[in-house]
Amino acid sequence: MISYGVSQEIGLRPRMEDAHAIRDLTEKRFFSAEVFDGHLGTWAAQIAAEVLTPHYLSLCSRDSNKSEAFCRPNAELLRQAYLWTDSFIDSQCPLCGTAAATLYLQGDQLIAANVGDVAIVIGTIEGVKILTVEHKPHIAEERTRIEAAGGNVQFLDIPRVQGELAMSRALGDNHLKPFVIPEPRIVEGILGSENDFAILACDGIWNVLYPEEAIAFARSSENPLRAANLICRAALERWSTDNITVIVLDIRSYAQTLDNKLFEISRIWDKGNVIFDKSNLL
């Protein structure tokens, strides 16, 4: 019920360091799409694409055998999967790292998470909703945290942690801990019939395209693969020099089976804490 298209380009970089994963587990009514934007090699992105979601599903399976009182929220299980993946990458490739974005659809539930500058957007009646935030070292909250831990943000060509990494959160990068952290920001939501497309892409797309433009490409294309290719081509035509990976999900048929009409964000988590809860607004 969910069709998708993936497009990738190496750009002007010497090698492709992105990775992605799609998992469609029909029997569990679970669908995942993931994009990983690696740096200092391909290993971190490839490892994360292979192990992060399987580890999350393993944690879910273990918790399903517990009494309800001892079951953890899915967002906490996803956080643990991110932290475990980070540790595993450090054990295999201590100098490499990756930004990450994961989107899970299960029934009418959506859970989106990211570290770094890979982003997820979803189409709505009003246009588009951005489900992620960029973790950049010049952002006040991130810079304060880095400096409190004894690190620094150097403003070179762009702001960089310790003069190296242009993001403040990532999986791996053991040599930059505790300044670069693997803590994901996680959004839980309820899908509605208004949702039509979702797009995951690395910063090679978002550096040159607005989310509204990407969604417009999806809505005007005959299929999600065509949409992904058009988005990729548009980024290249606007002189994106980075590796490019984009996944376009056509969720129209899936969304039409749902009871809810409008998309809702129910909770937002960061560093293991709930920072927004819609129920508190009622």
Which of these, 251, 142, 239, lies nearest to 198 by C-alpha position?
A: 251
Helix (H) or strand (E) holding 52: helix 43-64
Please report the pLDDT score of residue 71 as a whole number. Answer: 79
Sign of CA dihedral 255, 261, 267, 270: positive
Please report the pLDDT score of residue 69 as a whole number. Answer: 65
Q: Give the relative orientation of helices 43-64 and 74-92 as an angle to the nearest 10 degrees.
A: 140
Max distance between CA atoms of the chain, in angstroms, equals 54
Which of these, 155, 158, 146, lies nearest to 117 by C-alpha position?
A: 158
pLDDT reading at 41 higher than 80? yes
pLDDT digits (tens, 9 = 90+) for 101-145: 999 999 999 999 999 999 999 999 999 999 999 999 999 999 999
pLDDT reading at 226 higher than 80? yes
For the chain, domains (ranges, CATH) are 3-272 (3.60.40.10)
pLDDT digits (tens, 9 = 90+) for 49-105: 999 999 999 999 988 777 676 779 999 999 999 999 999 999 999 999 999 999 999
Please report the pLDDT score of residue 282 as a whole number. Answer: 67
Please report the pLDDT score of residue 179 as a whole number. Answer: 98
Please report the pLDDT score of residue 67 as a whole number. Answer: 67
